[in-house]
Amino acid sequence: MNNPPKHFISAAAIVVNNENKILLLRGPERGWEMPGGVVEEGESLTDAAIRETKEETGIDIEIIKFCGVFQNVKDCICNTLFLGRPIGGDFRTSNESLEIGYFTKHEALSMVTFMNFKERIEYCINRQEPFFIEFNT
């Protein structure tokens, strides 16, 4: 009998403040990135993006819109992406975030270097319609 398929679903938020700056955290392994992580059992995608942002940065957000999905077919990972805005909280680092800050779009895009994370940010802030990107890496 075959094992049932196992997929990992993650939710990340591109958080843009009133000054049009993007919230990034510097993690211990991947460098600068947007907040996000694995969706827990029984948790909605939006709730996961909100929770991960709070856990990793201390910032409370509201979700403005669903942006799209990046699917890593080979590794069975679906990364859902949302646009959010801060509504409270204070910067707080964690074991997943060594530094936190808001950066201009230009600064943010030059700082993010892990895999296709820069592309994910660009898609979220530049596209009006939801997107679906499929890759095999």
The predicted model gives 28-48 an average pLDDT of 97
**pTM metric for this prediction:** 0.93
The pLDDT, as a whole number, for residue 34 is: 98
Q: Show the domains of the chain with their CATH numbers.
A: 20-135 (3.90.79.10)
Q: Which spans in the chain are helix H?
A: 45-57, 105-111, 117-126
Q: What is the pLDDT of residues 76-123, one digit of tens each?
A: 999 999 999 999 999 999 999 999 999 999 999 999 999 999 999 999
C-beta neighbour count of 38 within 10 angstroms: 12
State the Cα–Cα distance between residues 34 and 3, nearest whole angstrom.
33
User: What does the pLDDT read at residue 24?
Assistant: 98
| One-letter amino acid for residue 60 of the chain | D
Q: What rounded mean pLDDT belongs to the chain?
A: 95
Residue 33 tokens read as 């990135």
pLDDT band at 5 (very low <50, low <70, confident <90, very high): confident
Q: Do residues 71 and 61 touch, judged by C-beta distance below 8 A?
A: no
Rounded mean pLDDT, 32-41: 97
